[in-house]
Amino acid sequence: MTTISGDAQQPITVRHVAIQTNWERYSFLFMRLSGVGLLVLAVGHMVIQHILNSSATLSIQFVAAQWSSWGWKAYDIVLLWLAIPHGVNGLRYVLSDYIHNRAAMRAVTAVLAIFVVATVIWATIGMILFDPAPFQ
């Protein structure tokens, strides 16, 4: 842990404290690490799909052309795996600010976890099995 001294002239005191590992700490770290990944992948996705290309010209043929390459499929699958857990975990943070009943919060967390797993699996299967041939 680091403490900040009020006086800018004073050196910063750095204390090394053994932090007990717990689930929330990994959640915090995941948000930061996936955030860095999404900074590249999600912003890249927005630039590629919405600025260099456009929804106004989007067609299933365009999707088929992209998903005929495993590179694009991998890009979208990694983006999916980072974005959905990052977003739903963020929703959990927001809800935990308003739900003070621990049992209720545990139930909400369980529902959100199931939702993350179901969404990620469903969409990953969809992308892997998508066959571009009929649309090309």
What the block records as the tokens of 96 is: 């935990």
Close Cβ partners of 108 (under 8 Å, ≥ 6 residues apart)? 92, 95, 99
Stretch that binds another protein, among 17-25, 101-109, 126-134 (CB under 8 A): 126-134
How distant is the alpha carbon of residue 38 from its chain centre? 7
Under DSSP, is residue 14 helix (H, G, I), strand (E, B) or coil? strand
Query: What residues between 33 and 52 interact with another protein by CB under 8 A?
Result: 35-36, 38-39, 42-43, 46-47, 50-51
What the block records as the tokens of 58 is: 């989007």
**Residues in contact with another protein by the rule CB under 8 A:** 2, 4, 8, 12, 32, 35-36, 38-39, 42-43, 46-47, 50-51, 54-60, 63, 67, 80, 83-84, 87-88, 90-91, 94, 98, 119, 122-123, 125-127, 129-131
